[in-house]
Amino acid sequence: MPVTIVSGSEPLPEADASFAPRMEMHSVSREAVTATVAQMGGEVLDALPDGNAGAGFLGFRYVVRRTSLTERPVRRQWLEDLEATIAAIVDRPDMLPPVLSRRAGRTGQAELLVKRGFGRALRWFTWAQAEHDRSVVKALRETRTVLSEQQAELRSLRAQLAALRARAEPRGGRTVRASGEGEYL
């Protein structure tokens, strides 16, 4: 039912029907979703009915899990990056840069004198910064120790996993993992 909107005393023009707002929905078959998930190394565990698209659509909410035994590519240089970060933090009580001047003559001498005066006045601040940096380095070193231990444990677990996979027996064309059906290591 068209509605005429009136502004003041004159009516506004009718809206063009070709500019009516539309929401397009494109369905994907359940089989296509299942095939795509399988192609990407997953498995559809369940397809729960979902009525959010409205009465005119048959929709599902999918529950999936990863079944691919290949590991995702992971950048493994984090321990080296942490070492580089620890090495980059300077441990010295005077954190001010060296006192230099690009000027010559009396102007350069006056500039150096002023900079040295500011250096002495700000020494308390640089000491506080140096203490903070030492605390950060200590925390980073503790983190490095924990991460190194975790990396060693991860290597051990990967070796155990490889041994379990080697012992797995194929049954009925499907590999049964030694950890039990449906569990992942």
62 has which bridge partners?
Answer: 47
**Cβ atoms 78, 147 nearer than 8 A:** yes
pLDDT above 90: percentage of residues in the chain: 9
Do 98 and 155 fall within a single domain? yes
Do 163 and 83 fall within a single domain? yes
Residue 183 pLDDT class (50, 70, 90 cuts)? very low
Whether 178 is in a domain gets the answer no
Whether 162 is in a domain gets the answer yes
Higher pLDDT, 121 or 38: 38
Do 105 and 130 fall within a single domain? yes
Do 46 and 91 fall within a single domain? no
Strands 10-11 and 59-66: unpaired
Whether 106 is in a domain gets the answer yes
Question: The tokens 């502004």 sit on which residue?
Answer: 7
Cβ atoms < 10 Å from Cβ of 140 = 15
Between helices 78-88 and 123-167, what is the axis angle to 10°? 170
| Lowest mean per-residue pLDDT among 62-76, 78-92, 137-151 | 62-76
**Which DSSP helix (H) or strand (E) runs through 42?**
strand 42-50
**Cβ atoms 125, 118 nearer than 8 A:** no
Residue 32 pLDDT class (50, 70, 90 cuts)? very high
Q: Indicate whether 105 pLDDT > 60.
A: yes
Question: How much is the mean pLDDT over the chain?
Answer: 76
Q: Indicate whether 132 pLDDT > 60.
A: yes
Question: The tokens 């068209």 sit on which residue?
Answer: 2
Whether 4 is in a domain gets the answer no
Tell me if residue 161 falls in helix, strand or coil. helix
Do 150 and 95 fall within a single domain? yes
Do 61 and 90 fall within a single domain? no
Mean pLDDT across the stretch 168-183? Answer: 49
Do 47 and 85 fall within a single domain? no
Do 40 and 89 fall within a single domain? no
Whether 181 is in a domain gets the answer no
Q: What gap in Å lies between CA 33 and CA 64, rounded to an integer?
A: 11
66 has which bridge partners?
Answer: 42
- pLDDT at residue number 17: 66
Total of domains in the chain: 2
Whether 63 is in a domain gets the answer yes
Which positions ≥6 away from 129 have C-beta within 8 Å?
95
Whether 118 is in a domain gets the answer yes
pLDDT above 70: percentage of residues in the chain: 66
Do 62 and 117 fall within a single domain? no
Do 82 and 168 fall within a single domain? yes
Domain that holds residue 115: 78-172
